[in-house]
């Protein structure tokens, strides 16, 4: 069976395993692991919940599909009473006062949280090296980066330490590490899953989404987390996706961005593999169209302009007064300054400085407003594309994952490695990484709220590539 969730559910119901044994096994794997995926372990809570599931099963009560299924949570989500550090010195002792809506929905469905997962601090990064808990190591080759920022979540799923994990994706942070570790990772349509309780990076593109080993598990978890939330005014209502609805392909036309593939930055192997995948898709009778799109450097600079502006604004609340490790100095202003300069990472400070610069008087018209205008043009471009094609297919990254340590040398080169993911974030579109087609997988994108079509096409790709 493809779905791990269904497989484990069956094992629990037929009493082949107990939930306690399952949870204990995963907790042991997490504790022993050398990939630096763990920021904190939720063992007391997990074992308590597992015992309850076992009692229900013993009493002959029915259990739901997600009941007793162990999962991981990127360490940027509030889960009441747990440490929520964002992998930062500033919040290393901070405990959540409440629980994020998406996580609460999973808890209500009976899923069991095992771990708060390592990631780039505040989501700032593409490699999961920007963290106080040590660089996350790739699941397939520990000398390589895990990708980021949801690197710990991707590795936990790839190594079977968790059945699924919940990451966060602002500019690629679910899709890119999913690709680097050869699993599935979905960035839903902006607003489909409530952002309430995720630590804000760039509020206009922050998305909550699942990482898992099958399309079916992505579908199951997405359905549970989706929905309008009175606590997040940007959240939207959506229709549940049935298993049946995604079983047969109805996609007729696929598009891809010619300039992504013809760019100098793309690795020759990624390019050849991508084009070979296109040929296989054509051979199944699907029309393929080449599309025009903005150049990668325009996408990357638009994204980083807006993301830095938003993160500078969002992180201004972290001054040591209400949250975080406060460092006392001579006066209040000094205390803020020392607290922030000692406790934020170099990368986070680079973004705060850059963000405040683009928002400041004299610069904002030239830079920030221009970024917003470009974002609108990008959305319009997508609207036109989806009049012509059902799905847009692209590589996840221009090249294979780098060695640990390499990308830290050149932040600008790291930003450029996000060339293929950030455009879909700016368009607020749903995009899924599938672990096929190139060394770091493929991205499948559809028009807003069309996750159903994406999952359908992903099932088709699984049998085609």
Q: Which residues are catalytic?
A: 74, 149, 173
Residue nearest to ligand GLN (CB): 173
Asked if 107 interacts with ligand GLN (CB under 6 A), we say no
Asked if 124 interacts with ligand GLN (CB under 6 A), we say yes
Beta-bridged to residue 287, according to DSSP, are: 253
> What six digits make up the tokens of 224?
């549970």
Nearer to ligand GLN by C-beta: 424 or 460? 424
Q: What is the sign, positive or negative, of the torsion defined by CA atoms of 123, 128, 130, 132?
A: positive
CA distance 406 to 394: 25
Size of the site for ligand GLN (CB under 6 A): 13
Asked if 185 interacts with ligand GLN (CB under 6 A), we say no
Q: Among residues 70, 113, 172, 441, which is the contact residue for ligand GLN, using CB under 6 A?
A: 172
Asked if 197 interacts with ligand GLN (CB under 6 A), we say no
Asked if 170 interacts with ligand GLN (CB under 6 A), we say yes
Q: What is the sign, positive or negative, of the torsion defined by CA atoms of 87, 99, 434, 395?
A: negative
Smallest distance from ligand GLN to CB 275, Å:
26
Beta-bridged to residue 313, according to DSSP, are: none
Asked if 229 interacts with ligand GLN (CB under 6 A), we say no
Asked if 169 interacts with ligand GLN (CB under 6 A), we say yes
Smallest distance from ligand GLN to CB 305, Å:
11
Smallest distance from ligand GLN to CB 247, Å:
31
Query: Taking a C-beta distance cutoff of 8 angstroms, is the pair 68, 6 a contact?
Result: no
Q: How far is CA 454 from CA 174, 248, 372, 429, 461, in A?
A: 16, 12, 27, 11, 10
> What six digits make up the tokens of 25?
């096994």
Nearer to ligand GLN by C-beta: 172 or 423? 172
Asked if 201 interacts with ligand GLN (CB under 6 A), we say yes
Nearer to ligand GLN by C-beta: 71 or 303? 303
Smallest distance from ligand GLN to CB 172, Å:
5
Smallest distance from ligand GLN to CB 48, Å:
32
Q: Would you tell me how many other CB atoms lie within 10 Å of the CB of residue 464?
A: 16
Which part of the chain contacts ligand GLN (CB under 6 A), choosing from 41-49, 164-172, 214-222, 252-260? 164-172
Which part of the chain contacts ligand GLN (CB under 6 A), choosing from 63-71, 118-126, 155-163, 253-261? 118-126
Buried-state track 356-385, b at ≥16 Cβ within 10 A, e below 16: ebbbeeeebeebbeebeebbeebeebbeeb
Asked if 171 interacts with ligand GLN (CB under 6 A), we say yes
Query: Taking a C-beta distance cutoff of 8 angstroms, is the pair 148, 411 a contact?
Result: no
Q: What percent of the chain is helix, strand and coil (3-state, nearest 5)?
A: 40, 15, 45
> What six digits make up the tokens of 383?
């609207």
Smallest distance from ligand GLN to CB 109, Å:
26
List the x/- string, 399-418, binding to ligand GLN by CB under 6 A.
Answer: -------------------x
Asked if 310 interacts with ligand GLN (CB under 6 A), we say no
Angle at alpha carbon of residue 345, lines to 340 and 347, rounded to 5°: 120
Asked if 195 interacts with ligand GLN (CB under 6 A), we say no
> What six digits make up the tokens of 375?
């974002």
The residue count for the chain: 465
From 465, 396, 456, 463, select the one nearest 436 (Cα to Cα). Answer: 465
Asked if 125 interacts with ligand GLN (CB under 6 A), we say yes
Q: Among residues 307, 315, 352, 434, which is the contact residue for ligand GLN, using CB under 6 A?
A: 307
Which part of the chain contacts ligand GLN (CB under 6 A), choosing from 25-33, 167-175, 257-265, 429-437? 167-175
Asked if 67 interacts with ligand GLN (CB under 6 A), we say no
- CB-neighbour burial class of residue 285 (10 A; exposed 0-12, middle 13-18, buried 19+): exposed
Q: How far is CA 92 from CA 56, 258, 325, 343, 367, in A?
A: 37, 44, 8, 10, 34
- Under the rule (CB under 6 A), what is the footprint of ligand GLN? 123-126, 149, 169-173, 201, 307, 418
């Amino acid at each position: 069976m493809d779905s791990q969730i269904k497989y484990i559910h069956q094992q629990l119901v037929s009493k082949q395993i107990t939930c306690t044994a399952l949870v204990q096994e995963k907790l042991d794997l997490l504790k022993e692991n050398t990939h630096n995926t763990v920021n904190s372990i939720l063992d007391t809570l997990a074992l308590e919940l597992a015992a309850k599931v076992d009692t229900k099963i013993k009493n002959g009560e029915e259990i739901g599909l997600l009941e007793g299924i162990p999962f991981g949570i990127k360490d940027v989500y509030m889960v009441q009473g747990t440490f929520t550090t964002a992998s930062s010195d500033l919040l290393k002792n901070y405990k959540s006062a409440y629980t994020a809506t998406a996580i609460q929905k999973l808890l209500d469905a009976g899923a069991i949280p095992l771990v708060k997962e390592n990631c780039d601090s505040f989501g700032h990064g593409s490699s999961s090296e920007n963290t106080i808990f040590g660089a996350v190591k790739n699941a397939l080759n520990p000398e390589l980066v895990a990708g980021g920022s949801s690197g710990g979540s991707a590795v936990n799923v790839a190594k079977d330490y968790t059945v699924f994990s919940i990451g966060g994706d602002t500019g690629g942070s679910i899709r890119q590490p999913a690709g680097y570790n050869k699993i599935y990772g979905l960035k839903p349509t902006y607003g489909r899953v409530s952002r309430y309780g995720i630590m804000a990076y760039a509020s206009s593109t922050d998305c909550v989404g699942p990482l898992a080993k099958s399309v079916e598990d992505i579908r199951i978890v997405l359905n549970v987390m989706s929905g309008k939330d009175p606590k997040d005014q940007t959240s939207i209502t959506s229709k549940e996706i049935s298993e049946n609805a995604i079983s047969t392909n109805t996609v007729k036309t696929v598009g891809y961005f010619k300039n992504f593939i013809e760019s100098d930055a793309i690795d020759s192997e990624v390019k050849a593999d991508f084009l070979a995948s296109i040929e296989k898709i054509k051979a199944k009778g699907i029309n393929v169209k080449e599309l025009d799109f903005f150049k990668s450097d325009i996408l990357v600079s638009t994204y980083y302009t807006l993301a830095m502006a938003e993160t500078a604004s969002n992180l201004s609340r972290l001054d040591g007064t209400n949250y975080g490790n406060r460092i006392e100095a001579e006066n209040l202003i000094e205390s803020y300054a020392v607290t922030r300069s000692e406790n934020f990472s170099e990368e986070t400070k680079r973004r705060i400085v850059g963000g405040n610069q683009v928002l400041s008087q004299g610069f904002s018209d030239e830079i920030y407003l221009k970024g917003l205008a470009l974002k609108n043009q990008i959305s319009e471009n997508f609207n036109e594309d989806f009049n012509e094609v059902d799905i847009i297919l692209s590589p996840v990254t221009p090249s294979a994952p780098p060695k640990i340590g390499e990308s830290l040398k050149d932040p600008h080169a790291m930003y450029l490695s996000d060339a293929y993911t950030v455009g879909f974030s700016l368009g607020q579109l749903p995009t899924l990484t599938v672990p096929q087609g190139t060394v770091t997988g493929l991205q499948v994108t559809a028009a807003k709220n069309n996750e159903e079509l994406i999952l359908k096409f992903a099932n088709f790709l699984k049998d085609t590539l």
